[in-house]
Each structure stands twice: as C-alpha cells, then as structure tokens.
C-alpha cells in the first residue's frame, strides 16, 4: 500500500491527465509518483478473412515515427467497451463487424498509467465507407497472421497491443 | 509527421518526466500531446528451473493494487540493457544469472510514452542473498509456466510485460 500525501501538480489534455503526487511507501519512505490518469481503452483485431488482419499506419508523436498496429482508442464517457470497439474500428478502417469477442483485458504500463485495454477479435467484417479518423490514421494495410507473427519475431513490429494480440492468438493455437 | 510548436508544461520526478506539447498534425489541425519521457527499461523472465519462473509481488500506485509480475525496472544512465537486467534481477529477487537472452524489444504504450522495454530470459540462476528492493517489492513467488499461462488466460494476471513474455514463449513453442 502506498498513501498519497499531496498532489504536487497536474497536466491536462481534453481526454486525459498526468499527476505528480507526494507519496508514503509501505516502508514509510517518502517519494514522488508521476502517473497518467487515462480513460479505459479498446484495441481490435479485425479479421477480414480466416487468416488476415487489417492494420493501421499512423504517426506516434511520443516515439517520433510511423507505426503499423491494430486499431485502438479511448472509450468515450459512458460508452461500453464493445460500442467503443465498434466505433473505433469504423473510424480507423471504415469497416463494421458482425461479431466482437473479448480476448483479454490488461494494463499496458501500470508502473505509471492506470489505462486498461479491452482487446477484441472482430469478425464478419463489412465495408461501410472510408476511414474517417484522418487526423490520426494515414492508411490501412492487410496482412496474414503468419506474416504479422514473423514481423513481431523479427522485431519489425514493436507495439505491445499488437504483440499481445498476435502472440495470444498463436499461443492458444487459434492460427 | 506531427510537429511540436510549443512546450506548455512539464512535471518531473528524479527519473522521468511528463510533457504537455502544442502540436500541428499532418492535416494542419492544432492539438495537444501529453506524453511521458521515460528511460529505456528492462524486464526479466527468471527461469529458476526448466519450467518455473520467479515473480515479484509489489504495490502499483497507478492502479491501487498489489500485482504479481516478472521483475523489471528502468536502466540507469550509461548502463547497458544486459547490465540493467542483471542488477534489477538481483535487487528484486536476490538471484544472479549465468545467461541473459534478449527475447524482444517493444514499446508498452507509445500512444503517450517513449518507453522501450528490453525483455530478457535469464537462466542458470544462483541465489546471492535476499532481495534489496524493499521499498518496492513485497516478496517473490515461483510458478510454473503452465500455471502462469492459465492465470493469464483466466484474466488473473493483467500485466502487459508478463503477458508478452509468457505468450511469446508459448507461441514460439518454448514450453
């Protein structure tokens, strides 16, 4: 147990915050904890066929590079994980899905963030239009599970949520 | 590509920072990016036998709960990933290792953090003393790979680095 003694500062965007807290550790030592207070989030494995996934290319400011990853995003206030997955999939790829199955819920970085990701597998995809998240997503790309797994093993995809999705499906012998 | 126009604020601890930046997106839209500037880090899968792993129990302030996870920590300035893995393993478990093999490098949360984790498998473990990271670690626990995999599948372990480690080893048929 670690006890908050005082809030030293906060930085805010419209959708999440960073807090710096003065904290007493279980050993009575005093220290600071800097952490991100983040909304619950979703990530989606969009199965466009038995063996193919739609990925998105986007710029990631924190690491200064373009990445290839599964679609994902924050849940809106009051939204269910499934509704958020459906909305994010549509915004980032232009596809709707007939089926969303929750694969896993996990904390990506609880050393400094309370974010929880609800990871879904989406099936029965139907094209509804073009992607609308034009400020974030550059384009989509379709890859087979095997080629994605090979890219992860070769260190070409370094995104935790994509690694967790593909490794979990592979480890459960789902491809 | 997203361009930083101005730094609006920063929060600091002794080992990492959070920055709030004013940014121009590729579409010319202006927005804010709040992100964690974090040192490179390590995580270790300590194989105490062919089929057993040492885990650590610790309090995680950001999520307000005690967790069970593989040992991990930030690299010190100028330290190599391998040396950091060796130091963290000793501090958090009291064990040294004859062998460290890099399994993977990945970004846990590049939506708002530049942290990179170097994930090692440690073998030929030798007890050197008691764990010294007493401000962080409550105790260690040894589990089989199979029981850990079952706990992950049942949602009882929700830590990304532990999930990535175990799912990757399983998906590569290493247990």
> Is 90 exceeded by the pLDDT of residue A173?
no
Residue A30 at interface with chain B, using a CB cutoff of 8 Å: no
Distance CA(B167)–CA(A106), nearest Å, equals 13
User: What is the predicted pLDDT for the residue at B86?
Assistant: 98
DSSP B110: T
- Judge if B17 and B69 occupy the same domain: no
Quote the ipTM score. 0.97
- Judge if A95 and A56 occupy the same domain: yes
- Judge if A96 and A147 occupy the same domain: yes
- Judge if A31 and A114 occupy the same domain: no
User: What is the predicted pLDDT for the residue at A100?
Assistant: 98
- Judge if B102 and B141 occupy the same domain: yes
Along chain B (175 residues), what's the average pLDDT of each consecutive run of 10 residues?
96 97 96 98 97 97 97 97 98 98 98 98 97 92 97 97 97 87
Question: What's the pLDDT band for A174 if we cut at 50, 70, 90?
Answer: confident
Q: Tell me if B108 and A108 make a contact (CB, 8 A cut-off).
A: yes
- Judge if A12 and A59 occupy the same domain: no
Distance CA(A119)–CA(A103), nearest Å, equals 6
CATH code: domain of residue A155: 3.90.79.10
Instruction: Give kind and range of the element (H or E) at residue A61.
Output: none
Per-residue DSSP letters for B37-101?
Answer: E---EEEEEEEEETTEEEEEEEEETTTTEEEEE--EEEPPTT--HHHHHHHHHHHHHSEEEEEEE
pLDDT in tens, B67-101: 999 999 999 999 999 999 999 999 999 999 999 99
Domains of chain B: total: 2
- Judge if B7 and B93 occupy the same domain: no
> Is 90 exceeded by the pLDDT of residue A175?
no
- Judge if B65 and B92 occupy the same domain: yes
- Judge if B19 and B50 occupy the same domain: no
Q: Tell me if B110 and A67 make a contact (CB, 8 A cut-off).
A: yes
Residue B36 at interface with chain A, using a CB cutoff of 8 Å: yes
- Judge if A16 and A66 occupy the same domain: no
Q: Residue B111, CB half-sphere, CA atoms under 13 Å: how many?
A: 25
Q: What is the mean pLDDT of chain A?
A: 97
Neighbours of A119 (CB within 10 A): 23
User: What is the predicted pLDDT for the residue at A158?
Assistant: 98
Neighbours of B154 (CB within 10 A): 8
Residues of A in contact with B8 (CB under 8 A): 11
Q: Which domain holds residue A83?
A: 41-171
**Residue B81 near residue B75, CB atoms below 8 Å:** yes
Percent of chain A with pLDDT over 70: 100
Q: Which of B85, B60, B61 is CA-nearest to residue B74?
A: B85
**Residue A45 near residue A120, CB atoms below 8 Å:** yes
Predicted structure pTM score: 0.97
- Judge if B51 and B130 occupy the same domain: yes
- Judge if B138 and B72 occupy the same domain: yes
CA of A128 vs chain B CAs: smallest distance (Å) = 23
**Residue B140 near residue B131, CB atoms below 8 Å:** yes
> Is 90 exceeded by the pLDDT of residue A161?
yes
Instruction: Give kind and range of the element (H or E) at residue A161.
Output: helix A160-171
**Residue A53 near residue A145, CB atoms below 8 Å:** yes
């Amino acid at each position: 147990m670690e006890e908050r003694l005082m809030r030293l500062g906060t930085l805010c965007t419209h959708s999440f915050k960073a807090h710096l807290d003065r904290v007493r550790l279980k050993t009575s030592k005093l220290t600071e904890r800097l952490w991100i207070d983040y909304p619950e989030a979703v990530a989606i494995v969009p199965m466009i066929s038995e063996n193919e996934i739609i990925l998105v290319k986007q710029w990631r400011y924190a690491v200064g590079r373009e990445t290839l990853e599964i679609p994902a995003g924050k849940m809106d206030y009051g939204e269910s994980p499934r509704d958020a997955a459906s909305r994010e999939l549509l915004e980032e790829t232009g596809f709707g899905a007939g089926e969303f199955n929750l694969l896993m819920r996990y904390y990506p970085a609880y050393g400094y963030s309370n974010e929880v990701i609800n990871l879904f597998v989406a099936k029965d995809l139907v094209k509804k239009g073009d992607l609308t998240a034009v400020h974030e997503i550059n384009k989509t790309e379709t890859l087979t599970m095997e080629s994605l797994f090979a890219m992860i093993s070769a260190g070409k995809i370094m995104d935790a949520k994509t690694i967790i999705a593909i490794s979990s499906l592979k480890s459960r012998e789902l491809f």
